[in-house]
Amino acid sequence: MARFEITGGNRLSGRIKIAGNKNAVLPIMAACLLTEDTCTLENVPLISDVVHMAKLLEVCGAKISGTGSSKLVINCQKIKSQELPGELTEKLRASVLLLGPILSRTGELKMAYPGGDIIGRRPLNTHIQVLEALGCLIDQDENFFTAKAKRLKGAKIFLQEASVTATENAIMAAALADGETQIKRAASEPHIVDLCQFLVKMGASISGIGSNVLTISGGKKLTGTTHRIRLDHIEVGTFAILAAVTSGKVEINPIVKEDLDMTLLTLANFGVNFKIDGDSLIIADNKLHAVEKVVTDVWPGFPTDLMAPMIVLATQAEGVTILHDWMYESRMFFVDKLLSMGAKVEIADPHRVLVYGPTKLHCQRLDTPDIRAGMALVIAALAAQGKSVIDKAELIERGYENIAERLAALGAKIKRLD
């Protein structure tokens, strides 16, 4: 296990580069299974989740070079149906993304249930709805999920939930299915747009990209391509919050402005002062004040992955803020760690907290509960007085590339220790 030692209280300054989108690269890696040709992925984030996904693909027969670098070359010419064991799937919620592509190629997949962060119940109901609509037979027991299909067939699907991963599975499965598939109530996050654009480069026919209604004309042979992974808008929001909480002046670059509308609106409401200069977001000279409420929502609403850092921001804002994440009932449970640092937070229920600010945070020894909450604790430790220790730092590194080195370049006093 790894830990971060952080001495807080420094004003951060400088420029930080945004990495490729974690939530885009994983489904795009899975989508490489849809062709026998070679695919090249660029701007790949250097995170452990990419390594875990690469191992899963290799178990399925993929040949991969460049693992651990920003460029992956993936060939899936010889793919076979597989039983994916729990020791692999439990490390990565995104292992569920193999369902659609593997079924398209082989007609059968048996896999142990996916793991990942413990932020709330994330059942496979919507994935099952999608696969059954496309002609799969599903069987489940305590340990494994099995899906079989002689041939996937296009269908009209109204998703029972606007699930990101279920939408991605539906898109990938439909790309090789016979006939046309229409997906209504599709999720439309930037990483889904990136997946669709990758598939179009491969030869897929997809209309409605970026909307909640997607139409895929399946059955076409897909070919290899080269694709650059979209920038991570969650990193942009996270580092903007970091700059605001530490009273720093930070240039965040490069950004995709259209991916940041709700994040920038929320930051502005908190009194975060920013300007956009070309493809850079510059944060400086903030006077933070509370807002009445921050509520997560489906895209383009406020993203759930920024809720934990936003709670830390609210601890430094004048007044009372209600923060509500209705998506995951365990997202708020990390706030007990903020309480131990001196924050004034009241848990209304598993989905809502009231934060009273501003409060002076002090150092503490903390455990990382999940990727986003772990990063929120890093932000809190950088704002606190004294030396904090954050254990299980490897969980944070699942989603943030070389985070200790990148923050140190801004002037943060942070060390990574094994």
The dihedral over CA atoms of 349, 354, 360, 366, expressed in degrees to the nearest 10, equals 20
Task: Establish whether 141 is a catalytic residue.
Answer: no
Asked if 241 contacts 309 with a C-beta cutoff of 8 angstroms, the reply is yes
Distances from the Cα of 89 to the Cα of 113, 131, 220, 255, angstroms: 6, 19, 30, 32
Q: Among 117, 259, 325, 370, which one carries the catalytic annotation?
A: 117
Which residue type sits at 216? I
Indicate the DSSP class of residue 229: P
Q: Determine if residue 93 is labeled as part of a ligand binding site.
A: yes
Q: Determine if residue 305 is labeled as part of a ligand binding site.
A: yes
The C-alpha atoms of residue 33 and residue 278 are separated, in whole angstroms, by: 36
Q: Locate 30 and state its tokens.
A: 């899975």
Pairing between strand 108-112 and 144-148? antiparallel
Q: For residue 167, give the nearest of 189, 149, 138 by alpha carbon.
A: 189
Q: Determine if residue 22 is labeled as part of a ligand binding site.
A: yes
* Beta bridge pairs of residue 109: 147
Pairing between strand 344-349 and 83-84? unpaired
The C-alpha atoms of residue 3 and residue 242 are separated, in whole angstroms, by: 19
Active site residues: 117
Which residues are part of a known binding site for UDP-N-acetyl-alpha-D-glucosamine?
Answer: 93, 305, 327
Which residues are part of a known binding site?
Answer: 22-23, 93, 305, 327
Which residues are part of a known binding site for phosphoenolpyruvate?
Answer: 22-23
